[in-house]
Structure 1
Amino acid sequence: MKFSRPRMFGALVATVTLVMTGCSGAGSLTGGGGREITVAMVSNSQMQDAVALSDQFEEQNPGVSVKFVTLSENEARAKITASVATGGGEFDVVMISNYETPMWGEYGWLVNLSPYMDADPEYDADDFIPTLKTALSHDGSMYSAPFYGESSFLMYNKKLFEQAGVTLRANPTWPEVAEVAKKLDNERTAGICLRGKPGWGEVLAPLNTVINAFGGRWYDEDWNAQLDSPEVEAAVQFYVDTVRNHGEAGASSSGFQECGNLLSQGQVAMWYDATSAVSVLESPETSSIAGDVGYLPAPSMAKQDNGWLYTWSLGIPTSSKHPDEAWSFIRWMTSKSYIEYVSEKLGPSHVPPGSRLSTYELPAYKELAKPFAEQTLTSMQAANQLKPTLQPVPYTGVQFLAIPEFQDLGTRVSQQISAAIAGQISVKDALAQSQEYAEVVGKSYQREQ
């Protein structure tokens, strides 16, 4: 889809008005006359590994030092969006995703990285998983480079399944998953973990794939909002009931990190979420069930192939004063050699997954990845951002809508869903309010038709 610059700016008003605290000016001179670049990243485990290993980058790039600003997912989205949209210049490198990249590339907010990649044959951009490469491109050029990529699947504790004598078939439906969650739910262990934390990139990520599976959609082809449709209501009611009845305690405040901790410590039996979670689950350092995790594709209903497609990637805002140094950092953190370095230095379980095809040929990682590699790559390659739903829609994106308004719209809707999970309102009331939010956005597109 194409969007006018006024539409993009209008959609970001709520974000841009955030106070930009805790961010120093980017591209400053260090005391020794070198260059300092500021890198804004999400504080997930693989990103923390990069911070810990960044001395290697500084050794390889004399005169360039790195200042990291690591933030929680919701905070990172808000601060990075506000800075890039206004040309604030706080950051030289920003961690974004396949939601932001094509739009921001179209509006000239990001540096085109393809010339850098093309000038460096050793970097091998063709090694990126094709669906990710496409998802991070605008008009044939890449505007960010994937650090790790992911789809979604169902992860489960094999020992708990064996002890309870329960199984799931190779391609389970959501009701089948809920039935097993009920059987495994007890005083010691919750049956399943599902995100309930507010945020368009938190609870709505898994929930949108459930809506897709049930045959639901946010809008019909004419931009009429559909959040109060029978299909969407059935999906959301199912999700809320499942996590309330058989899910983790405090589900309305649980996100990716919280669910990962619970499954890795044997406190929940199943978890539906990102394939990148294998880095936590298969590491003996962080997981008590490493080697005992099973993996199944995203559950189905009316629609098959419901895994999402997502990547945390690195881009350079056009407001950066030192784009060449910024590219040097991106090259370091998204290269084949970085992946090999992580494997050697920290172990194969720390390798950022799902970005490069060659990752799955590294001997150490290949051995570790046997239980999940095929499922990960199959899910990523099957995810279709252009046709995410059973019925036709005017938008693209699997677990998000690739429209600029979705940051605000999705956040508002997620707050309603989270309130329903917390038992503060009914699903019907949550969707009635969400429908009103969606109608406002839909009408703005209808006026343009």
Structure 2
Amino acid sequence: MSVTIRALMGACALGALGTAALAETTITVATVNNGDMIRMQGLMDAFNEAHPDIKVEWVTLEENVLRQRVTQDVATKGGQFDVMTIGTYEVPIWGERGWLVSLDDLPDSYDADDILPAIRGGLTVDGHLYAAPFYGESSMVMYRKDLMDAAGLEMPEAPTWDFIKEAAAAMTDKDNEVYGICLRGKAGWGENMAFLTAMSNSYGARWFDMDWKPHFDSEAWKATLTDYLDLMNNYGPPGASSNGFNENLALFQSGKCGMWIDATVAASFVTNAEESSVADQVGFALAPDNGLGKRGNWLWAWNLGIPAGTQKEDAAKAFVEWATSKEYLALVAEKEGWANVPPGTRTSLYENPEYLEAAPFAQMTLDSINAADPQNPTVDEVPYVGVQFVAIPEFQGLGTAVGQQFSAALAGQVTAEQALQSAQMLTEREMMKAGYIK
């Protein structure tokens, strides 16, 4: 580690905690098993050197399991975790309920104003910051340029869904286990429903109208699900109903996907020659649209939050500050290269010429993040905030239940029509029970 980085991290720690010593404090951090989080665990020597009195224990979980565990713990004040990896969906709901510790007192050296406005806005409730972003993302098209060239096609910077269908057909070679498109199929409000809700926005669909009436019986949702199933059944990999982010990442890295529409954060992993067999052939494009004014891209951040009631707030804040700081980005750059730093959180990163040169996906990531509008996510007016989710407490259960119906349709267990009917009925029932509709 350079002297400069060590000095900056030391200053960062002192800014957060003053000169008060922490007496052998152990904090437990719950996190998701995504690549950037795993990488952070390998860089903990730097944190330990700056904070010798804080010991960090990790609980690393698959995405759906993480959400269940941290939601149960924070709602019941279980005290199992001192730092939680939570998403843009949870932060405003939990912050409003008083379940999270405010991070307004992070020192000036942390430079919270440097956080990208689109990302910071999703983590702020009534002017108070309730979580710090570890990485931010939208979604975009990642594709193999060699297969696109072989198909005689050229990917537009802003493709339509019709072009995606054409390209998926042209690039599929099932005899050689090359599939034209890989998309999320695993059930979950943050798995297949993240993709399908964002896709549906570009088709003119919405979860609810202004009276909170569910809209899965609309022609727009029928077109969304039908096209999704056609793409996956004709040009997708086998067993797709079990595939989430990590499974599709592995498929793409091994050369088995012509296109993959998913989180922009994947870009550094698919272009890393040590991990990806197609690293030198990857191109990027905006998420597709249907000419209705909305693209099928989402807005998300994985963030570090501190549950209210923790007995180790100072130590937890020291860790959150370190892990989401400019200095941490510099540490990753030194150890792993600029292309591998956690993206999508800080304005200064996208003004850094070293990063822009090293990361060919940087501008597309920033453009995708800026194109998402959580306040106006759909073609028609809606009463909710959120691009690939609906920012109400009931959505976590609803989104997963609907996701199970759509995953069953992908597995061939029910038809698209049956899945949509079930989604409509179960959503109506839950919204009536919750008092949104009568």
**TM-score, length basis structure 2:** 0.92
* 1:182 counterpart letter in structure 2: A
Q: 2:164 aligns with which of 177, 180, 184?
A: 177
Q: Could you give the per-residue CA deviations for residues 274-321 of structure 1, whole angstroms, max 9, x where no partner exists?
A: 111112112111112223211111100133333211000000001211
**TM-score, length basis structure 1:** 0.90
| Unaligned stretches of 5+ residues in structure 2 | 1-21
Q: What pairs up with 1:37-436 in 2 under 5 angstroms?
A: 37-115=27-105, 117=106, 120-186=107-173, 187-188=175-176, 189-301=178-290, 302-369=292-359, 371-436=360-425
Aligned to 2:383, what secondary structure does the other structure show? coil
Aligned equivalents of 2:328, 2:114: Cα separation in 1: 14
Shift of 1:444: 4.4
Aligned equivalents of 1:287, 1:273: Cα separation in 2: 16
* 1:73 counterpart letter in structure 2: E
8 Å contact from structure 1 (residues 88, 319) kept in 2 = no
| Unaligned stretches of 5+ residues in structure 1 | 1-31
Shift of 1:447: 5.2
Q: Could you give the per-residue CA deviations for residues 31-87 of structure 1, whole angstroms, max 9, x where no partner exists?
A: x96110000000101000111111211110121100000000000000010000100
Aligned equivalents of 1:33, 1:168: Cα separation in 2: 57
Q: 1:446 to 1:220 in 2, by over 3 A?
A: farther
Aligned to 1:222, what secondary structure does the other structure show? coil
Q: Could you give the per-residue CA deviations for residues 202-236 of structure 1, whole angstroms, max 9, x where no partner exists?
A: 00111111111110011111111111111101101
* 1:64 counterpart letter in structure 2: I
* Structure 1 moving runs of 4+ over 4 Å: 444-449
Cα RMSD for the two superposed structures: 1.5
Q: 1:303 to 1:293 in 2, by over 3 A?
A: same
Corresponding residue pairs, total: 414
Aligned equivalents of 1:106, 1:446: Cα separation in 2: 20
Aligned to 1:269, what secondary structure does the other structure show? strand
Aligned to 1:291, what secondary structure does the other structure show? helix
Aligned equivalents of 1:349, 1:70: Cα separation in 2: 24
8 Å contact from structure 1 (residues 212, 303) kept in 2 = no
Aligned equivalents of 1:221, 1:360: Cα separation in 2: 37
Aligned to 2:59, what secondary structure does the other structure show? strand
8 Å contact from structure 2 (residues 199, 297) kept in 1 = no
* 1:126 counterpart letter in structure 2: D
